[in-house]
Structure 1
Protein backbone atom coordinates (compact mmCIF):
# COMPACT_ATOMS: atom_id res chain seq x y z
CA UNK A 1 0.00 0.00 0.00
CA UNK A 2 1.37 3.41 -1.02
CA UNK A 3 1.81 5.76 1.92
CA UNK A 4 1.14 8.87 -0.17
CA UNK A 5 -0.75 8.43 -3.45
CA UNK A 6 0.93 9.51 -6.67
CA UNK A 7 -2.18 11.55 -7.62
CA UNK A 8 -3.74 14.29 -5.49
CA UNK A 9 -6.51 12.77 -3.32
CA UNK A 10 -10.21 13.50 -3.95
CA UNK A 11 -9.73 14.77 -7.51
CA UNK A 12 -11.55 13.24 -10.47
CA UNK A 13 -10.94 15.99 -13.02
CA UNK A 14 -8.07 14.94 -15.36
CA UNK A 15 -7.32 18.56 -16.26
CA UNK A 16 -6.85 19.49 -12.60
CA UNK A 17 -4.69 16.41 -12.00
CA UNK A 18 -2.48 17.29 -14.97
CA UNK A 19 -2.21 20.97 -14.02
CA UNK A 20 -1.10 20.15 -10.46
CA UNK A 21 0.98 17.05 -11.26
CA UNK A 22 4.41 18.72 -11.11
CA UNK A 23 3.53 20.61 -7.93
CA UNK A 24 2.22 17.46 -6.25
CA UNK A 25 5.34 15.46 -7.20
CA UNK A 26 7.57 17.98 -5.41
CA UNK A 27 5.22 18.11 -2.43
CA UNK A 28 4.95 14.33 -2.23
CA UNK A 29 8.74 13.88 -2.20
CA UNK A 30 9.20 16.48 0.54
CA UNK A 31 6.35 15.01 2.58
CA UNK A 32 7.70 11.48 2.30
CA UNK A 33 11.06 12.68 3.59
CA UNK A 34 9.66 14.81 6.42
CA UNK A 35 6.90 12.54 7.72
CA UNK A 36 8.22 9.15 6.64
CA UNK A 37 11.93 8.71 6.04
CA UNK A 38 13.36 11.03 8.72
CA UNK A 39 11.04 9.97 11.61
CA UNK A 40 11.80 6.33 10.79
CA UNK A 41 15.51 7.16 10.69
CA UNK A 42 15.25 8.79 14.13
CA UNK A 43 13.57 5.62 15.38
CA UNK A 44 16.44 3.56 13.98
CA UNK A 45 18.92 5.86 15.75
CA UNK A 46 17.16 5.11 19.04
CA UNK A 47 17.23 1.38 18.31
CA UNK A 48 20.97 1.56 17.64
CA UNK A 49 21.45 3.47 20.91
CA UNK A 50 19.51 0.77 22.74
CA UNK A 51 21.71 -1.86 21.11
CA UNK A 52 24.85 -0.03 22.23
CA UNK A 53 23.73 -0.23 25.85
CA UNK A 54 23.94 -4.02 25.66
CA UNK A 55 27.56 -3.96 24.48
CA UNK A 56 29.63 -5.60 27.13
CA UNK A 57 26.51 -6.46 29.17
CA UNK A 58 25.46 -10.04 29.81
CA UNK A 59 21.80 -9.08 30.05
CA UNK A 60 20.40 -6.00 28.37
CA UNK A 61 18.40 -3.93 30.91
CA UNK A 62 14.74 -3.93 29.86
CA UNK A 63 14.30 -0.25 30.64
CA UNK A 64 17.04 0.70 28.16
CA UNK A 65 14.65 -0.23 25.32
CA UNK A 66 11.94 2.22 26.43
CA UNK A 67 13.36 5.22 24.46
CA UNK A 68 13.55 3.12 21.28
CA UNK A 69 9.97 1.92 21.72
CA UNK A 70 8.75 5.48 22.35
CA UNK A 71 10.53 6.82 19.26
CA UNK A 72 9.19 4.01 17.07
CA UNK A 73 5.66 4.62 18.40
CA UNK A 74 5.90 8.33 17.52
CA UNK A 75 7.05 7.51 13.97
CA UNK A 76 4.21 5.01 13.56
CA UNK A 77 1.65 7.50 14.90
CA UNK A 78 2.80 10.19 12.46
CA UNK A 79 2.65 7.84 9.48
CA UNK A 80 -0.79 6.55 10.49
CA UNK A 81 -2.17 10.07 10.93
CA UNK A 82 -0.74 11.17 7.59
CA UNK A 83 -2.26 8.22 5.76
CA UNK A 84 -5.71 8.52 7.34
CA UNK A 85 -6.32 12.25 7.85
CA UNK A 86 -3.24 14.34 7.22
CA UNK A 87 -3.13 14.46 3.43
CA UNK A 88 -6.24 16.65 3.22
CA UNK A 89 -4.84 19.40 5.48
CA UNK A 90 -1.40 20.67 4.40
CA UNK A 91 -1.49 23.34 7.11
CA UNK A 92 -1.15 20.60 9.74
CA UNK A 93 1.93 18.97 8.21
CA UNK A 94 4.42 21.24 9.98
CA UNK A 95 2.79 21.16 13.47
CA UNK A 96 2.28 17.39 13.33
CA UNK A 97 5.80 16.68 12.11
CA UNK A 98 7.35 19.06 14.64
CA UNK A 99 5.30 17.53 17.48
CA UNK A 100 6.15 13.93 16.66
CA UNK A 101 9.84 14.43 15.89
CA UNK A 102 10.14 16.62 18.98
CA UNK A 103 8.57 13.81 21.00
CA UNK A 104 11.09 11.42 19.46
CA UNK A 105 13.90 13.66 20.68
CA UNK A 106 12.49 14.10 24.19
CA UNK A 107 11.32 10.52 24.70
CA UNK A 108 13.83 8.63 22.56
CA UNK A 109 17.07 10.25 21.41
CA UNK A 110 18.03 12.21 24.52
CA UNK A 111 17.19 9.55 27.14
CA UNK A 112 18.62 6.84 24.89
CA UNK A 113 21.89 8.77 24.53
CA UNK A 114 22.09 9.29 28.29
CA UNK A 115 21.54 5.60 28.98
CA UNK A 116 24.10 4.60 26.32
CA UNK A 117 26.72 6.98 27.74
CA UNK A 118 26.14 5.61 31.22
CA UNK A 119 26.28 1.91 30.31
CA UNK A 120 28.82 2.17 27.46
CA UNK A 121 31.21 5.02 28.27
CA UNK A 122 33.75 3.68 25.80
CA UNK A 123 31.43 4.50 22.90
CA UNK A 124 30.95 8.15 23.87
CA UNK A 125 31.93 9.51 20.44
CA UNK A 126 29.54 7.21 18.60
CA UNK A 127 26.73 8.00 21.04
CA UNK A 128 27.22 11.74 20.62
CA UNK A 129 27.28 11.35 16.84
CA UNK A 130 24.00 9.42 16.91
CA UNK A 131 22.44 12.02 19.21
CA UNK A 132 23.50 14.79 16.83
CA UNK A 133 22.07 12.81 13.90
CA UNK A 134 18.75 12.51 15.73
CA UNK A 135 18.60 16.23 16.48
CA UNK A 136 19.56 17.06 12.89
CA UNK A 137 16.93 14.66 11.57
CA UNK A 138 14.17 16.25 13.66
CA UNK A 139 15.13 19.74 12.55
CA UNK A 140 15.32 18.68 8.91
CA UNK A 141 11.91 16.98 9.12
CA UNK A 142 10.27 20.21 10.29
CA UNK A 143 12.02 22.24 7.60
CA UNK A 144 10.97 19.80 4.88
CA UNK A 145 7.36 19.78 6.14
CA UNK A 146 7.30 23.57 5.83
CA UNK A 147 8.72 23.32 2.31
CA UNK A 148 6.10 20.71 1.38
CA UNK A 149 3.30 23.03 2.45
CA UNK A 150 4.80 25.98 0.62
CA UNK A 151 5.44 23.95 -2.51
CA UNK A 152 1.78 23.01 -2.71
CA UNK A 153 -0.06 26.14 -1.57
CA UNK A 154 2.29 29.13 -1.40
CA UNK A 155 1.38 30.36 -4.90
CA UNK A 156 -2.37 29.70 -5.31
CA UNK A 157 -3.46 28.67 -8.79
CA UNK A 158 -7.02 28.34 -10.01
CA UNK A 159 -6.90 24.52 -10.10
CA UNK A 160 -6.42 24.41 -6.32
CA UNK A 161 -10.04 25.53 -6.06
CA UNK A 162 -11.04 22.08 -7.32
CA UNK A 163 -9.24 20.25 -4.49
CA UNK A 164 -10.10 19.53 -0.87
CA UNK A 165 -7.11 21.49 0.46
CA UNK A 166 -7.92 24.50 2.69
CA UNK A 167 -6.71 27.66 0.95
CA UNK A 168 -5.36 30.49 3.11
CA UNK A 169 -5.11 34.01 1.69
CA UNK A 170 -3.18 36.38 3.94
CA UNK A 171 -3.11 40.15 3.60
CA UNK A 172 -2.24 43.05 5.84
CA UNK A 173 -5.86 43.50 6.86
CA UNK A 174 -7.35 40.01 6.92
CA UNK A 175 -6.80 36.28 6.76
CA UNK A 176 -9.21 34.32 4.57
CA UNK A 177 -9.56 30.53 4.78
CA UNK A 178 -11.46 28.83 1.95
CA UNK A 179 -12.52 25.41 3.21
CA UNK A 180 -14.38 22.54 1.58
CA UNK A 181 -17.86 23.85 2.37
CA UNK A 182 -17.42 27.34 3.84
CA UNK A 183 -15.22 30.42 3.88
CA UNK A 184 -13.96 32.01 7.10
CA UNK A 185 -12.05 35.22 7.62
CA UNK A 186 -10.41 37.28 10.34
CA UNK A 187 -10.10 41.04 9.91
CA UNK A 188 -7.46 42.93 11.86
CA UNK A 189 -8.26 46.52 10.87
CA UNK A 190 -9.36 48.14 14.11
CA UNK A 191 -11.19 45.66 16.29
CA UNK A 192 -10.56 41.98 15.49
CA UNK A 193 -13.53 40.35 13.78
CA UNK A 194 -13.90 36.60 13.16
CA UNK A 195 -16.67 35.64 10.77
CA UNK A 196 -17.59 33.02 8.21
CA UNK A 197 -20.34 31.78 5.94
CA UNK A 198 -21.18 28.41 4.42
CA UNK A 199 -21.23 27.95 0.67
CA UNK A 200 -24.93 27.10 0.71
CA UNK A 201 -25.70 30.67 1.77
CA UNK A 202 -23.47 32.42 -0.80
CA UNK A 203 -25.37 33.85 -3.77
CA UNK A 204 -22.50 35.54 -5.61
CA UNK A 205 -18.95 36.88 -5.17
CA UNK A 206 -17.78 40.20 -6.59
CA UNK A 207 -14.29 41.70 -6.62
CA UNK A 208 -13.42 45.33 -5.83
CA UNK A 209 -10.22 47.19 -5.22
CA UNK A 210 -8.42 45.44 -2.34
CA UNK A 211 -11.56 43.50 -1.27
CA UNK A 212 -14.16 40.94 -2.29
CA UNK A 213 -17.85 41.10 -1.41
CA UNK A 214 -19.80 37.97 -0.49
CA UNK A 215 -23.49 38.35 -1.27
CA UNK A 216 -25.38 35.90 0.96
CA UNK A 217 -28.96 35.10 1.87
CA UNK A 218 -28.57 37.17 5.05
CA UNK A 219 -26.72 40.18 3.63
CA UNK A 220 -23.37 41.16 2.16
CA UNK A 221 -19.87 40.86 3.63
CA UNK A 222 -16.86 42.82 2.42
CA UNK A 223 -13.53 41.11 3.09
CA UNK A 224 -10.18 42.83 2.40
CA UNK A 225 -7.73 40.71 0.37
CA UNK A 226 -4.41 41.40 -1.31
CA UNK A 227 -5.48 40.09 -4.74
CA UNK A 228 -9.27 40.37 -5.17
CA UNK A 229 -9.32 38.82 -8.66
CA UNK A 230 -7.45 35.70 -7.51
CA UNK A 231 -9.54 35.39 -4.35
CA UNK A 232 -12.76 35.71 -6.34
CA UNK A 233 -11.67 33.12 -8.90
CA UNK A 234 -10.53 30.63 -6.23
CA UNK A 235 -13.71 31.04 -4.21
CA UNK A 236 -15.96 30.65 -7.24
CA UNK A 237 -14.00 27.57 -8.34
CA UNK A 238 -14.25 26.05 -4.86
CA UNK A 239 -18.02 26.73 -4.69
CA UNK A 240 -18.47 25.09 -8.10
CA UNK A 241 -16.42 22.09 -6.91
CA UNK A 242 -18.53 21.87 -3.74
CA UNK A 243 -21.78 22.04 -5.72
CA UNK A 244 -20.63 19.25 -8.04
CA UNK A 245 -19.73 17.03 -5.08
CA UNK A 246 -23.01 17.87 -3.33
CA UNK A 247 -25.04 17.05 -6.43
CA UNK A 248 -23.08 13.84 -7.00
CA UNK A 249 -23.63 12.81 -3.37
CA UNK A 250 -27.36 13.56 -3.66
CA UNK A 251 -27.54 11.51 -6.87
CA UNK A 252 -25.74 8.58 -5.24
CA UNK A 253 -28.05 8.75 -2.24
CA UNK A 254 -31.09 8.82 -4.52
CA UNK A 255 -29.85 5.74 -6.36
CA UNK A 256 -29.21 3.97 -3.07
CA UNK A 257 -32.69 4.90 -1.86
CA UNK A 258 -34.30 3.57 -5.05
CA UNK A 259 -32.27 0.36 -4.74
CA UNK A 260 -33.49 0.00 -1.16
CA UNK A 261 -37.09 0.57 -2.26
CA UNK A 262 -36.71 -2.15 -4.90
CA UNK A 263 -35.30 -4.56 -2.34
CA UNK A 264 -38.10 -3.78 0.11
CA UNK A 265 -40.68 -4.33 -2.61
CA UNK A 266 -39.66 -7.98 -3.01
CA UNK A 267 -39.57 -8.73 0.73
CA UNK A 268 -41.91 -11.60 1.55
CA UNK A 269 -42.45 -12.91 5.06
CA UNK A 270 -43.77 -16.43 5.53
CA UNK A 271 -45.37 -18.23 8.43
CA UNK A 272 -46.54 -21.85 8.55
CA UNK A 273 -48.35 -23.81 11.20
CA UNK A 274 -50.49 -26.95 11.16
CA UNK A 275 -50.93 -27.13 7.42
CA UNK A 276 -51.52 -23.39 7.06
CA UNK A 277 -49.08 -21.14 5.19
CA UNK A 278 -49.35 -17.35 5.03
CA UNK A 279 -47.20 -14.85 3.13
CA UNK A 280 -47.10 -11.08 3.67
CA UNK A 281 -45.30 -8.17 2.00
CA UNK A 282 -42.90 -5.65 3.59
CA UNK A 283 -45.88 -3.67 4.95
CA UNK A 284 -47.36 -6.72 6.67
CA UNK A 285 -50.26 -7.04 4.24
CA UNK A 286 -51.31 -10.59 3.45
CA UNK A 287 -50.38 -11.63 -0.09
CA UNK A 288 -51.24 -15.34 0.01
CA UNK A 289 -52.84 -18.10 2.10
CA UNK A 290 -52.33 -21.80 1.46
CA UNK A 291 -54.37 -24.47 3.25
CA UNK A 292 -53.52 -28.17 3.21
CA UNK A 293 -56.34 -30.81 3.05
CA UNK A 294 -55.91 -31.74 6.73
CA UNK A 295 -57.18 -28.36 7.95
CA UNK A 296 -60.67 -29.21 6.69
CA UNK A 297 -61.35 -31.16 9.85
CA UNK A 298 -60.37 -28.28 12.18
CA UNK A 299 -62.98 -26.35 14.11
CA UNK A 300 -63.52 -22.81 12.76
CA UNK A 301 -62.25 -21.23 15.99
CA UNK A 302 -59.05 -23.31 15.95
CA UNK A 303 -58.56 -22.64 12.24
CA UNK A 304 -58.92 -18.89 12.79
CA UNK A 305 -56.46 -18.97 15.72
CA UNK A 306 -53.84 -20.87 13.71
CA UNK A 307 -54.38 -18.58 10.75
CA UNK A 308 -53.78 -15.50 12.91
CA UNK A 309 -50.69 -17.13 14.43
CA UNK A 310 -49.32 -17.72 10.92
CA UNK A 311 -50.01 -14.09 10.00
CA UNK A 312 -48.13 -12.85 13.07
CA UNK A 313 -45.23 -15.18 12.33
CA UNK A 314 -45.08 -14.03 8.69
CA UNK A 315 -45.17 -10.37 9.74
CA UNK A 316 -42.32 -10.95 12.20
CA UNK A 317 -40.31 -12.58 9.42
CA UNK A 318 -40.99 -9.62 7.11
CA UNK A 319 -40.00 -7.11 9.82
CA UNK A 320 -36.72 -8.93 10.36
CA UNK A 321 -35.90 -8.83 6.65
CA UNK A 322 -36.79 -5.13 6.44
CA UNK A 323 -34.62 -4.35 9.48
CA UNK A 324 -31.69 -6.23 7.99
CA UNK A 325 -31.98 -4.34 4.70
CA UNK A 326 -32.25 -0.96 6.41
CA UNK A 327 -29.32 -1.67 8.75
CA UNK A 328 -27.16 -2.84 5.84
CA UNK A 329 -28.05 0.36 3.97
CA UNK A 330 -27.17 2.52 6.99
CA UNK A 331 -23.93 0.61 7.58
CA UNK A 332 -22.81 1.14 3.98
CA UNK A 333 -23.54 4.86 4.37
CA UNK A 334 -21.41 5.10 7.51
CA UNK A 335 -18.51 3.27 5.86
CA UNK A 336 -18.59 5.57 2.82
CA UNK A 337 -18.87 8.66 5.03
CA UNK A 338 -15.78 7.59 7.01
CA UNK A 339 -13.78 7.38 3.77
Structure 2
Protein backbone atom coordinates (compact mmCIF):
# COMPACT_ATOMS: atom_id res chain seq x y z
CA UNK A 1 0.00 0.00 0.00
CA UNK A 2 1.58 3.26 -1.13
CA UNK A 3 0.81 6.33 0.87
CA UNK A 4 2.18 9.70 0.10
CA UNK A 5 4.09 11.63 2.70
CA UNK A 6 1.25 14.15 2.93
CA UNK A 7 -1.22 11.34 3.77
CA UNK A 8 1.04 10.12 6.57
CA UNK A 9 1.52 13.66 7.88
CA UNK A 10 -2.24 14.17 7.85
CA UNK A 11 -2.73 10.90 9.78
CA UNK A 12 -0.17 11.96 12.40
CA UNK A 13 -1.75 15.41 12.68
CA UNK A 14 -5.20 13.83 13.12
CA UNK A 15 -3.87 11.47 15.78
CA UNK A 16 -2.18 14.34 17.67
CA UNK A 17 -5.32 16.48 17.48
CA UNK A 18 -7.52 13.60 18.67
CA UNK A 19 -5.13 12.85 21.54
CA UNK A 20 -5.09 16.52 22.60
CA UNK A 21 -8.90 16.73 22.42
CA UNK A 22 -9.28 13.54 24.45
CA UNK A 23 -6.83 14.82 27.08
CA UNK A 24 -8.80 18.08 27.35
CA UNK A 25 -12.06 16.12 27.81
CA UNK A 26 -10.48 14.02 30.58
CA UNK A 27 -9.17 17.17 32.30
CA UNK A 28 -12.70 18.62 32.17
CA UNK A 29 -14.09 15.38 33.59
CA UNK A 30 -11.52 15.34 36.39
CA UNK A 31 -12.29 18.95 37.27
CA UNK A 32 -16.03 18.25 37.47
CA UNK A 33 -15.53 15.06 39.48
CA UNK A 34 -13.49 17.00 42.05
CA UNK A 35 -16.54 19.27 42.53
CA UNK A 36 -19.05 16.45 43.09
CA UNK A 37 -21.27 16.81 46.13
CA UNK A 38 -23.97 14.26 46.90
CA UNK A 39 -26.17 14.30 50.01
CA UNK A 40 -28.05 11.56 51.86
CA UNK A 41 -30.25 11.74 54.93
CA UNK A 42 -31.61 9.40 57.57
CA UNK A 43 -33.81 9.36 60.67
CA UNK A 44 -36.43 11.58 59.06
CA UNK A 45 -33.82 14.19 58.17
CA UNK A 46 -32.23 14.32 61.61
CA UNK A 47 -28.88 13.32 60.08
CA UNK A 48 -27.52 14.54 56.75
CA UNK A 49 -24.23 13.40 55.24
CA UNK A 50 -22.59 14.92 52.18
CA UNK A 51 -19.94 13.08 50.18
CA UNK A 52 -17.62 14.51 47.58
CA UNK A 53 -15.13 13.13 45.09
CA UNK A 54 -14.65 9.37 45.37
CA UNK A 55 -17.54 9.17 47.84
CA UNK A 56 -15.49 10.59 50.68
CA UNK A 57 -17.61 12.27 53.38
CA UNK A 58 -17.23 16.04 53.37
CA UNK A 59 -19.89 17.01 55.89
CA UNK A 60 -22.23 15.70 58.57
CA UNK A 61 -25.06 17.78 59.99
CA UNK A 62 -27.67 16.94 62.58
CA UNK A 63 -30.88 18.62 63.65
CA UNK A 64 -32.17 18.98 67.19
CA UNK A 65 -34.10 15.72 66.61
CA UNK A 66 -30.95 13.77 67.50
CA UNK A 67 -31.31 14.85 71.14
CA UNK A 68 -34.16 12.36 71.50
CA UNK A 69 -32.18 9.55 69.85
CA UNK A 70 -30.01 6.92 71.48
CA UNK A 71 -26.31 7.21 70.59
CA UNK A 72 -26.44 3.87 68.73
CA UNK A 73 -29.32 5.15 66.58
CA UNK A 74 -27.42 8.35 65.81
CA UNK A 75 -24.39 6.34 64.73
CA UNK A 76 -26.57 4.06 62.60
CA UNK A 77 -28.28 7.08 61.02
CA UNK A 78 -24.91 8.61 60.12
CA UNK A 79 -23.87 5.37 58.43
CA UNK A 80 -27.23 5.06 56.66
CA UNK A 81 -27.08 8.63 55.35
CA UNK A 82 -23.49 8.15 54.22
CA UNK A 83 -24.31 4.91 52.36
CA UNK A 84 -27.29 6.63 50.76
CA UNK A 85 -25.14 9.53 49.53
CA UNK A 86 -22.37 7.20 48.37
CA UNK A 87 -24.84 5.01 46.48
CA UNK A 88 -25.74 8.08 44.40
CA UNK A 89 -22.10 8.84 43.59
CA UNK A 90 -21.78 6.39 40.63
CA UNK A 91 -24.88 7.92 38.99
CA UNK A 92 -23.40 11.41 39.30
CA UNK A 93 -20.06 10.14 37.99
CA UNK A 94 -21.82 8.57 34.98
CA UNK A 95 -23.55 11.89 34.21
CA UNK A 96 -20.24 13.75 34.26
CA UNK A 97 -18.49 11.17 32.13
CA UNK A 98 -21.35 11.12 29.64
CA UNK A 99 -21.14 14.82 28.84
CA UNK A 100 -17.35 15.17 29.05
CA UNK A 101 -15.58 12.10 27.66
CA UNK A 102 -18.32 9.71 26.65
CA UNK A 103 -18.11 5.96 27.01
CA UNK A 104 -14.84 4.15 26.51
CA UNK A 105 -12.95 1.37 28.26
CA UNK A 106 -11.56 3.77 30.86
CA UNK A 107 -14.91 5.26 31.83
CA UNK A 108 -16.52 1.80 31.91
CA UNK A 109 -13.79 0.66 34.31
CA UNK A 110 -14.11 3.75 36.53
CA UNK A 111 -17.89 3.35 36.72
CA UNK A 112 -17.62 -0.36 37.49
CA UNK A 113 -15.23 0.44 40.34
CA UNK A 114 -17.52 3.17 41.69
CA UNK A 115 -20.53 0.84 41.53
CA UNK A 116 -18.60 -1.94 43.28
CA UNK A 117 -17.40 0.42 46.02
CA UNK A 118 -20.74 2.20 46.44
CA UNK A 119 -23.59 -0.19 45.66
CA UNK A 120 -27.12 1.03 45.27
CA UNK A 121 -29.67 1.00 48.08
CA UNK A 122 -31.03 -2.38 46.93
CA UNK A 123 -27.89 -4.00 48.40
CA UNK A 124 -28.42 -4.90 52.00
CA UNK A 125 -26.05 -3.24 54.48
CA UNK A 126 -23.19 -5.48 55.42
CA UNK A 127 -23.21 -7.39 52.15
CA UNK A 128 -20.39 -7.21 49.67
CA UNK A 129 -21.65 -7.16 46.08
CA UNK A 130 -18.17 -7.75 44.67
CA UNK A 131 -17.39 -11.26 43.53
CA UNK A 132 -14.59 -12.96 45.42
CA UNK A 133 -12.03 -15.36 44.09
CA UNK A 134 -11.11 -18.59 45.77
CA UNK A 135 -8.91 -18.10 48.88
CA UNK A 136 -5.94 -19.76 47.20
CA UNK A 137 -6.21 -17.73 43.96
CA UNK A 138 -2.75 -16.16 43.36
CA UNK A 139 -4.36 -13.26 41.47
CA UNK A 140 -6.69 -12.26 44.32
CA UNK A 141 -5.23 -9.27 46.12
CA UNK A 142 -8.55 -8.08 47.58
CA UNK A 143 -7.50 -8.67 51.18
CA UNK A 144 -3.97 -7.34 50.80
CA UNK A 145 -2.73 -3.84 51.34
CA UNK A 146 0.34 -2.44 49.68
CA UNK A 147 1.24 -1.10 53.13
CA UNK A 148 1.48 -4.50 54.82
CA UNK A 149 3.69 -6.13 52.22
CA UNK A 150 0.88 -8.43 51.07
CA UNK A 151 0.73 -10.31 54.38
Matches of 2:24 and 2:97, distance apart in 1: 15
Q: CA deviation at 1:324?
A: 2.2
Aligned residues: 101
Distance 1:327 1:259 in 2: 12
| Residue 330 (str. 1) matches residue 91 (str. 2) | no
1:221-277 per-position Cα deviation (integer Å, ceiling 9, x unaligned): xxxxxxxxxxxxxx2221111111111111000100001111111111100122111
Q: What do residues 51-77 of structure 1 show as CA deviations (whole Å, max 9, x unaligned)?
A: xxxxxxxxxxxxxxxxxxxxxxxxxxx
**Residues in 1 aligned to 2:97 and 2:89: alpha-carbon distance in whole angstroms:** 12
Give the whole-Å Cα distance in 2 for the aligned partners of 1:284 and 1:261. Answer: 14
Q: Which runs of 5+ in 1 are unaligned?
A: 1-175, 179-234, 333-339
Q: Secondary structure at the match of 1:283?
A: helix
SS at match of 2:55: coil
Q: For residue 50 of structure 2, give the secondary structure of its aligned residue in structure 1.
A: strand
2:60 equivalent to 1:289: yes
Is 1:272 matched up with 2:41?
Answer: yes
TM-score by structure 1 length? 0.28
Can you list the C-alpha shifts for 1:27-63, whole angstroms capped at 9, x where unaligned?
xxxxxxxxxxxxxxxxxxxxxxxxxxxxxxxxxxxxx
The higher-RCO structure (CA 8 Å, 6+ apart) is 2
2:30 is matched with which residue? 261
CA distance in 1, matches of 2:62, 2:97: 32
Deviation (angstroms), 1:177: 4.2
Name the Cα RMSD after superposition: 1.7
Structure with the higher fraction of residues in strand conformation: 1
Whole-Å separation in 2 of the counterparts to 1:319 and 1:295: 29
The structure that has the greater radius of gyration is: 1
Within the candidate set 18, 24, 39, 1:249 is matched to 18
Runs of 4+ in 1 over 3 A off after TM superposition: none
Q: Please give the secondary structure, in 2, of the residue aligned with 1:330.
A: coil
Where 1:327 maps in the other structure, the secondary structure is helix
Structure with greater helix percent: 1
Aligned 8 A contact 1:269 1:318 in 2: yes
Paired with 1:255 and 1:305, the residues of 2 have a C-alpha distance of 42
